[in-house]
Structure 1
Amino acid sequence: MSRITEIVRGDLKAAGRNVMTGIVLFGLVVIPMLFAVFNVLASWDPFSRTDELKIAVASADKGHESDLAPISLNLGDQVLSQLSRNDQIDWVITGTDDAVEGTKSGEYYASIVLPEDFSTSLLTFYTAGTEPTQLELYTNEKKNALSTVLTEQGAEGVITQINDTFAEIIGSVGLGVVSSLDNYLEEDDTKAAIDRIEARVENIGVQLRAGAQTMRSLTGMLDSTAPLLEGAGNIARAAGAQFDDTGSDLGGGADATDSLDSTLRSAAASLEQALSSTADSYSAVGDRLDSLFDSAGNAGTGTAATFTDLAARVQQQTDGFRAVRETLDDTVGAALPAGVQAGYDRALAGLDAAIDRSDDLHDRLTQTAQDITDGTADAQASRQSVQDALDRASSAVDSAVTSYRQDLQPQMTQLGDTLDDLGDSIGTVREDLEGVTASFADSPGSLQETLDRARSATVSIADKLEEHADQFEEMADALSTAGETGDFSKLARAAGDDPQALASQLAAPVAVDREAVFPVASFGAGMTPLYVTLSLWVGALLTAVFVRPRVDGEGETYTRAQAYLGRFGIFALTGLAQATMVALGMIVFVQVGAAHPFLFTLCCWVTSLVFQLIVYTLVLSLGSAGKAVAVLLLVLQVSGGGGAYPLQLLPGWFQVLSPWLPATHAIDAMRAAIAGVYRGDLWIELGILLLFAVPFLVLGLWLRGLLDGYNRTTTEAIEKTKVMA
């Protein structure tokens, strides 16, 4: 460590003794700040001076005379009049030929021409089959790439303004005529004209009412969706609770699967043991029958007792059968899936047959003991009857064993394994249910909140449409009365004192309240992360150009690692100074309005140190080729870092490359510091950025020695050119 510190102190002393070195280092520190400051200020608010963009507007509109009344209307002139009072863009009102020619010469950035049928197209919008009104936009794309976008937006602004003011124009030129129709009512064709107006107005009212009904229907659909949403939430919550309260016998959740698995395996073991022991005991009884009947005449009382004892033992086995059978029926059978049920029924039928035959054997043994005691036993007949009963019982037990092993045991074993897997999966299911339940909850961003907002919007729109439908129906009634009586006062009251206000409300019944999330001070403030990142990379490049990366005495006085880390000290200090100046320039001079000034400065420090390490290692390891690689990385990061355009708008290969560029993560971290941190995104991006230092540390500390031969060859080749350095 002392040797590394010795190199750093030596570099600082050398910089302090030489005036020219100090000037160069000062320039290295200041240039990145100037780069960032000038670029951010230049792009601070470029759209605030769009009023200096000249866009020509010409109207070839010939006007329109309505069939409702012999009144000629020219909406093109109305639009030109509106634009002449708009100062967002330098609108130039001129003729069609001058507009097109001026665009070609570059006098205007663009021109917009209203067609000859402009008024006719707008005023007959209600006619079936009518096409949208078409405007002609001429743009001069060689003037400036961005100005083309601005002029197209200007054209969109004209279209928006036409749409927004159309109802107002209709109101001022159409509804405003209501108050001056008294003279026209005295004409011969007054009644026919009023009938046509009444029909049109009534039709508009009907359409508005139908629109309101549609909105009401949509509201009803949303209302009917609410119980479904609530029910789905209840189901999800109930399903989650089921993991804790699934049953008093088997416990809840994963415990239930463990308990059922244990029950299945215990029942299988009990049945296997009962069947095996019964088969063995029946075989032993068969072996003793001959000796027992042979001794029946000599010691009748003792033999009878033996038969009675055998009957008791058979009864014991039969009781064991019944206990196992009840366990299977009460516990296991209800838990088995449908696919296993057929085998289970066959095994159960075999077990029932074994129980019946065992009962019969017990009865025969008991009867034989009684006959021996009474002295009425026919030895040969008793021997045969007991033997037959024993054979039938043994056969039934063997059949039950076969049926159990073939039809039930494999399925129970497989079911037990399945229950083990199910128990492992229940924890995951619980987490999924908790997530689903949260999405149904009445919280910000939930389905319930979205449904409430949608319902409020549909109710508001329906109310507004019905309000306007009432006004048009009232106007139709007034027209009908005016046509019959000549009294036009009701129609004037329906139109109101301000027909333009009525038309304006019809044109825009819904307003949009825009609220920025993580707002920034201006367009330039939004571009700050890109320009700051580029300035720090440029600063690292300049440092590598003016500061020698290699230490004298490397390999002799100092080891490779000592030389590498020691010389990086001057690079790191220069980078920290550059980052500090850039951060202060953005915060104090430019006033980007960073939400977290210290975190922004921290981002600059980390970014500069990583960039200095990358460029220093490349130049030290690859020589002049390392500088070329650093410049290539700069070129890729200008667009690939996503600082200017959304990454989704870039070509596909840029989107794949972007996460592997250090500038991408530096820009995202600075955005969080300027606009606001969301769930630790700043720290995540800084952590990823620091990971880029790892491979370059490996290259500089250990792998660099492998490139010594390449560097010597490259250096000799460059020196031989007598041109390159």
Structure 2
Amino acid sequence: MRNSWNIFKSDIRNISRNWVAAILIGGLVFLPSLYAWLNIYASWDPYAKTNQLPVAIVNEDAGANVRGEQLNVGNELIDTLKNNQDMKWSFTSRKDAMKKVEYGDYFAVIIIPENFSEKLASIVSGNPQKADIEYYVNEKINSIAPKITEQGATVIVQEVSSQFISNVNGVIFNIFNDLGIEIESYLPDIHNFENYVFKMEQELPTIHNLLMDVQKDASSAQKIVTQANLMVPRAEQITTEGLNHIGKTIDFLTKAQNRLNELAPTIENDLDKVSKISKSTNEFLQKVQNADLDFTELDRVKMDLDNKITSNIQTIDSIRKDLYWLKELSNSSNESSLGENNVAQQTKLDQAIDKTNELKVFLQETQTNTRKINTLVKDKEQQMQKILSDLQKIAQNTTVQLDAFINEYKNSIEPTVLSEVANAKKTLGNAKEMLSNIQSNLPEVTRILNSTAAHLKEGKTTLDHALTQYPYIYDKVKQLADKIRKIQGETNLNEIIQLLRNDPQAERNFFEEPVVLNENKLFPIANYGTGMTPFYTVLALWVGCLLLISLLATDANHENNVSERAVYFGRLFTFSAIGLFQALIVTIGDIVLLGVDVKNPFWFILFGFLISFVFMSIVYTLVSVFGDIGKAFAIIMLVLQIAGAGGTYPVVLLPEFFQLINPALPFTYAVDIMREAVGGIVWQRALRDASFLLLFSAAFLLFGTFLKEKINRKTKLLLKKSRESGLFH
């Protein structure tokens, strides 16, 4: 180790005494810093100057008419972009724009087509169509510019979409608000409808039963109407026959009335005759009873009395036959007057017939007693006197009853019979008029029955259809009722109304920007340049190592007794010391000259020292052990680490090969530990990165310590052979 230290002191002494060497070393110390500073400064904040990026806007929108209002989204977009400073917007024609974008004067062209507003307005139609924006980009000019212009185009689309959604939702929520007000006004009707549905659900079984009954009644009514139709001809026949019968009956009553008028005097004469005979018989009996009996005269009187009584009996029979004929005539008139029964007339005729029967009985009894006179005269005179007395009493009673009957006949029976016959004729006249009306109305009845039959058939068909549809209707009403109950259980209509009745303007503003990004930066980075500082600083330190091993010799001029290992470590101290100066200058320059916002400056510088030592141990060992081949290894490692360490793009976005080698690259841990210092240290990550860096350093130092001498013997032969070509030094 003493020899190594001596070699280091000798190198420092030589640098300090040789001004050319000092200048060269100084250049090697500062040169890597320039590499880092220039790259960091160039990428400091490129997105802050996108307003210098020329992008052409072509507006060909012809506008559209939406419900009487003119809409031109293209013009509105142009007005918006004129106040937008994100890019250098140029408003021109399609021809000019396409020409200049091909030439490279414009990085991109955005064209608003003619039907842009028309397609947006199709939202109110039954066939909405998406609107298109044409975007042309010249990717040949620059690899980053297309991504920036694409973002600008995306921003335009988002702006149009946001504004359009805001406008559409503004209209929608205006409608919702009006709808909420209208629903609220109809709320009582809605509740009534719900109650109606529930009531219908309850009443439907009753309605079904009622329909079944009506169907049965309709069937019965249909049968009745059919039967009635069949009976109309019979009714016409009966009506005609009734009219004929009534006509004949009226003629018969007229004849009967005339016959009564003719019989009345005859009956009255017969009654008077009977009355006279009865009175003479009574007088005769009184005389016989008071006179002395002369049997010869008695026989004559007896014969005379018997003849008178016989004549009275015959007269009474004649009167009785006339009364029976009047009774039959009265019955016929009552039947012809459509069943009207005159009780008073029948009663009086029956009483008159009974009285004539009684008179006949009295007269027959008188005749019988008179015929007994001979026997009685012969045997019992006293008894005969009694019989005569009885006969006289009977005759006297007969005379009284006969007088009463004659008086009743004239005052009651005869007027009653004549009156009832006249009433019967009047009733039959009314019946004839009624039947005539019925006969004249029978065609209309037939028409009504036919119409009723048709209506009943149609109604029955409708009823059958209704009953057929009843299960479907009942099922639908029940489903509706269940849905209403479910909605009532799950939702509150008042809450829905309250939801609909919101401020339309507030809702419009909400949908214009429904999601607001509340950005919380855990380890905020000021700008893009600051974010790239760890990568470019680490890259500069590796480049610094390459510059040193390219200009400085790794083998020292030493005496033969100094081992290869001592030379390895002695010259390592020299390289490491220069590397530390490189790290000190680049890290302090990042903070002081460029103004990089480093959260932990001390650790940023200290981590720079660590990285410089690790990189120097790697690069120095490769060149010290392998010579010029080691330089090639160092350059290869640089190339792989720039692409695979994740310094510019996240590792997960890299190809699979670079994702695979990423954990084995020193840059991976060097860039990460410098990011910790710039953004804010998470010590668990920082210690992990430092540990891996030290492992890399230890591995290469051990490799150089134990293999340098063996490998150098091989590489010196290769070096000698290559120099023989005259192309390598």
TM-score of the aligned structures, taking structure 1 as reference length:
0.55
CA shift digits 1:105-158 (9 cap, x unpaired) = 111100111122211222233556534322111000011000011010111111
Distance 1:46 1:466 in 2: 52
Which residue in the other structure is 2:43 paired with? 43
Residue 300 of structure 1 corresponds to none
Seen in structure 2, the aligned counterparts of structure 1 residues 674 and 117 have a Cα distance that, compared at 3 Å, is: same
| Equivalence for 1:29 | 29
Match of 1:52 in 2: 52
Secondary structure of 1:92's aligned partner: strand
Residue number in structure 1 paired with 2:722? 718
Q: CA RMSD in A?
A: 2.5
Aligned length: 416
1: CA distance, partners of 2:666 / 2:125? 59
Aligned: 1:583 with 2:591: no
Instruction: Give the residue type in structure 1 aligned to 2:157.
Output: I
CA distance in 1, matches of 2:103, 2:140: 11
Question: 1:607 is aligned with what amino acid?
Answer: I
Determine if contact 1:165/1:504 at 8 Å carries over to the other structure. Answer: no
State the alpha-carbon separation in 2 of the partners of residues 528 and 466 from structure 1: 58
CA distance in 2, matches of 1:28, 1:202: 75
Distance 1:540 1:471, change over 3 A: same
Contact 1:596/1:674 (8 A) holds in 2 = yes
Whole-angstrom CA distance in 2 between matches of 1:124 and 1:103: 32
| Correspondences of 1:324-473 after superposition (within 5 Å) | 469-471=500-502
Hey, what's the Cα distance between the residues in 2 that align with 1:131 and 1:616?
A: 67
Distance 1:46 1:565 in 2: 45
User: Does structure 1 residue 607 correspond to structure 2 residue 598?
Assistant: no
> Residue in 2 aligned with 1:535?
540
3-state DSSP class of the match of 1:692?
helix
Q: Is the 8 A contact 2:109 2:137 kept in 1?
A: yes
Q: Which among 492, 500, 509 is matched to residue 504 of structure 1? A: 509
User: What SS does the corresponding residue of 1:111 show, helix, strand or coil?
Assistant: strand
Q: CA deviation at 1:553?
A: 2.9
Residues 203 and 98 of structure 1, relative CA distance in 2, 3 Å threshold? farther
Distance 1:154 1:591 in 2: 30
CA distance in 2, matches of 1:108, 1:468: 50
* Equivalent-residue separation in structure 2 for 1:619 and 1:125 (angstroms): 72
C-alpha separation between the residues in 2 aligned to 1:567 and 1:718?
24
Tell me the equivalent position of 1:89: 87
Q: Judging changes above 3 Å, is the alpha-carbon distance between structure 1 residues 7 and 101 closer, same or farther for their aligned structure 2 residues?
A: same
Structure 2 Cα separation of the partners of residues 466 and 113 of structure 1: 44
State the match for 1:520 in structure 2: 525
One-letter amino acid matched to 1:655? Q
Distance 1:55 1:514, change over 3 A: same
Matches within 5 A, 1:197-212: 201-202=175-176
User: Which of these residues, 676, 679, 687, is aligned with residue 675 of structure 1?
Assistant: 679
Structure 2 partner of 1:544:
549
Q: Distance in 1 between matches of 2:115 and 2:581?
A: 66
What residue identity is the alignment partner of 1:529? P
Q: Does 1:4 align with 2:9?
A: no
| Cα 1:110–1:204 shift into 2, 3 Å | farther
**Conservation of the 8 A alpha-carbon contact between 2:645 and 2:662:** yes
Q: Distance in 1 between matches of 2:143 and 2:496?
A: 43
SS at match of 1:533: helix
Q: Which residue of 2 aligns with 1:702?
A: 706
From the superposition, tell whether residues 629 and 79 of structure 1 become closer, same or farther in structure 2 (CA, over 3 Å).
Answer: same
Asked if the contact 1:58/1:113 (under 8 Å) is kept, the reply is: yes
Structure 1: tracts of 5 or more residues without a match: 176-196, 210-463, 473-494
Matches of 2:9 and 2:519 in 1, distance apart?
Answer: 57
1:60: how far off? 1.8
1:647 paired residue among 643, 647, 651: 651
Structure 1 pair 469–508 and aligned structure 2 pair: CA distance change class (3 A): farther
Give SS of 2:501's match.
helix
Amino acid at match of 1:712: K
Residue in 1 that maps onto 2:351: none
- Quote how far apart the aligned CAs of 1:701 are: 0.9
Q: Any gaps of 5 or more consecutive residues in structure 2? A: 184-494
Rounded to whole Å, the distance in 1 between the matches of 2:538 and 2:667 is 6
CA shift digits 1:608-638 (9 cap, x unpaired): 0011111111111111111111111111111
- Structure 1 residues 76, 205: closer, same or farther in 2, change over 3 A? farther
Does the 8 A contact of 1:594 with 1:674 survive in 2? Answer: yes
Tell me, yes or no, if the aligned pair for 1:58 and 1:114 is still in contact at 8 Å: yes
When Rg is computed on C-alpha atoms for both structures, the one with the higher figure is 2
Q: Counterpart of 2:383?
A: none
Deviates more, 1:92-101 or 1:22-31: 92-101
Q: Would the aligned equivalents of 1:51 and 1:87 in 2 still touch at CA under 8 Å?
A: yes
Kindly indicate whether the alpha-carbon contact (under 8 Å) linking 1:44 and 1:522 is maintained by their aligned counterparts in 2.
Answer: yes
Map 1:14-163 onto structure 2 (within 5 A). 14-66=14-66, 68=67, 70-125=68-123, 127=125, 130-163=128-161
CA distance in 2, matches of 1:527, 1:92: 32
Matched-pair contact (CA < 8 Å) for 2:565–2:708: no
Q: Which residue of 1 aligns with 2:201?
A: none
User: Do residues 684 (structure 1) and 688 (structure 2) align?
Assistant: yes
* Aligned-residue identity in percent: 33
Contact 2:176 2:501 in 1 (8 A): no
* Cα separation, partners in 2 of 1:713 and 1:705, compared to 1, 3 Å: same
Distance 1:128 1:571, change over 3 A: farther
Partner SS for 2:144? helix
Take 2:105 and 2:36, find their aligned partners in 1: how far apart are those partners? 33
Q: CA deviation at 1:74?
A: 1.2
Q: Judge conservation of contact 1:618–1:629 (CA < 8 Å) in 2.
A: yes
Q: 1:568 maps to which residue? A: 572
What CA distance in whole angstroms lies between the structure 2 residues aligned with 1:602 and 1:723?
A: 42
Contact 2:525 2:531 in 1 (8 A): yes
Task: Report deviation, 1:503.
Answer: 3.6
The letter for the 2-side match of 1:36 is: A
Question: In structure 1, what residue type is equivalent to 2:39?
Answer: N
Deviations 1:34-66 (A, max 9, x none): 111111111010001000001111122121112
What residue in structure 2 maps to residue 303 of structure 1? none
Match of 1:256 in 2: none
CA distance in 2, matches of 1:533, 1:201: 62
Structure 1 residues 30 and 94: CA distance shift in structure 2, 3 A: same
Amino acid of the residue matched to residue 90 of structure 1? K
